[in-house]
Structure 1
């Protein structure tokens, strides 16, 4: 709902109701491997070794959850070119179940980890959306999110969990500031945006150990550590120049565009590790072509112009036996795009 109770003030409340019900009947049966005869005097010891690599596992779980969430935004528009707002909102990620097996403790399946608690969020935000000049747009937002039972994929040391499992971090905080600017002048368009983000575990006492601590404690306290996948600084800048022309029988615009994206170093592991930090990088892209409203639009493009080598992600190998793998970013890529509009 959008309620404008004066010419300058408006209130925007909203509510959402969600119900989830999930069930799992998990049964894993292994076969092959070391054959152990019944008359072997070391049968029990050999079976224990075999089970330490992979073993039968069976469990059942059922869960349902009803969630009420929503938002309340107060907006103030002193002039037609400026809009100030403040928002309080709640959010959630539904309750979950682990579908790929569970960790074990001295041979006991930890069925208490089958259910993944719903993630609940309290979010505060204040901001400005403005057009101080005819062709200039300036927006600024400051925000804070407090998250309870943050859902995160972890990779344990046990080989029983070759895909890892979902776990809950007790408390997480994400806060930052974002700004974006765009400017249009005759045949030129320019944009830039920048974001500063701080994302930390406020409390996570039962996290898996880091890669370098494989073989030690099963769980560690990483409260105060940084979340994976979040760069403190990220931004992009670009522009486009166009001019009227004709291509074949169509009238339209020739255009040339160049843009760049940058992000600073970020952790690539649920538990911070000195081996699992992806170095910051910048990428540049360009495109050139002919654009029409109706007819054929054609352009060539190049991504990662300077053929920058970079990782998108670093992750522990299956079973986390002390090794890790990397997901490589795309190299320099060329292409041609043809679009037809009617």
Structure 2
């Protein structure tokens, strides 16, 4: 709110709290997507494949908290968010080197034009984030997964290396370190070559379960006990990487024990985050360009009892 006919001084005061907002847009969005896969089996236990996929994310609209131009006016063309154009390439091999054992490996590269990045308006008084297009993004990596069943034991392990970066993002919002600047020209940086948010370069998990046949309350079935661990390296938690918004890597452990009846009943006791690890799922700059940042902590140690039935 504010006065109906503000004086220049009142208008300046109002805009120091809430930036002016206006937008206009006229969009026409069409797309053709698809996937092409070639597969070849060298033997009954060695299969290979190569995939090309083309996809997209539809056009978007910003209706609030638009970025401002050098004169402090809303950039009207920012109301329209261009659709993403995605080209994905992947090759892989799937194997069964021994009875009950699988081992799979894949290599991939994803190129994205006009990546839709969720950013925070760094103008003083802007209270919301908005979508912006990063011109070019690339994500590439290697993934490995395996499993084995050895008598009463079943095991699994997987690992991934992922490299995600802005290939071209020349008008990215400034990082948290530059919050609060009054000159709109200082609120834009070239983030080309920096890493994408939410992607850990290294990640992996492993676990296993031991099962013995038995009975409970007159029901035949299997007793089991299992554990698993998952780990990831540090990652950026902001559209433009900031030293204050990088989340450190962490490892989580889980455990479970229970009974699976052959007639569909299951009783289990489980513990998640066994060591009560303190970690953040994300960090984010608070609105208003004050320099404040906040975090969303991960779940603490949690345990419970589950009873499940299938009919």
| Pairing partner for 2:171 from 206, 211, 229 | 206
Q: CA deviation at 1:160?
A: 5.0
**What is residue 153 of structure 2 aligned with on the other side?**
188
Q: CA deviation at 1:156?
A: 1.7
Is 2:46 the partner of 1:54?
A: no
The 1:171/1:304 distance shift into structure 2, 3 A limit, reads: same
Unaligned 5+ segments in structure 2 are: none
After superposition, where does 1:226-265 map in structure 2 within 5 Å? 226-265=195-234
CA contact (8 A) 2:247 2:282 kept: yes
After superposition, where does 1:91-240 map in structure 2 within 5 Å? 91-105=55-69, 106-159=71-124, 161-214=126-179, 215=181, 217-240=186-209
TM-score normalized by the length of structure 2: 0.94
CA contact (8 A) 2:65 2:121 kept: no
Is 2:50 the partner of 1:89?
A: no
Task: Give the whole-Å Cα distance in 2 for the aligned partners of 1:320 and 1:55.
Answer: 12
The 1:222/1:59 distance shift into structure 2, 3 A limit, reads: closer
CA contact (8 A) 2:278 2:300 kept: yes
| Pairing partner for 1:321 from 283, 286, 290 | 290
Task: Give the whole-Å Cα distance in 2 for the aligned partners of 1:134 and 1:37.
Answer: 80
Matched residue SS, 2:123:
coil
Deviations, residues 250-271 of structure 1 (Å, cap 9, x unaligned) = 1100110100110001111110
Q: CA deviation at 1:158?
A: 2.2
More deviation, 290-299/232-241: 290-299
Task: Give the whole-Å Cα distance in 2 for the aligned partners of 1:151 and 1:121.
Answer: 11
The 1:60/1:251 distance shift into structure 2, 3 A limit, reads: same
Residue-pair matches, total? 306
Task: Give the whole-Å Cα distance in 2 for the aligned partners of 1:239 and 1:294.
Answer: 24
Matched residue SS, 1:108:
coil
Task: Give the whole-Å Cα distance in 2 for the aligned partners of 1:63 and 1:101.
Answer: 20
| CA RMSD after TM alignment | 1.6
CA contact (8 A) 1:36 1:46 kept: no
Q: CA deviation at 1:37?
A: 9.0
Task: Give the whole-Å Cα distance in 2 for the aligned partners of 1:70 and 1:130.
Answer: 27
Judging by fraction of residues, say which structure has more strand: 1
CA contact (8 A) 1:100 1:161 kept: no
CA contact (8 A) 1:188 1:241 kept: yes
TM-score normalized by the length of structure 1: 0.86
CA contact (8 A) 2:123 2:187 kept: no
Task: Give the whole-Å Cα distance in 1 for the aligned partners of 2:22 and 2:172.
Answer: 24
> Higher relative CO (CA 8 A, sep ≥ 6), structure 1 or 2?
2
CA contact (8 A) 1:207 1:221 kept: yes
The 1:55/1:162 distance shift into structure 2, 3 A limit, reads: closer
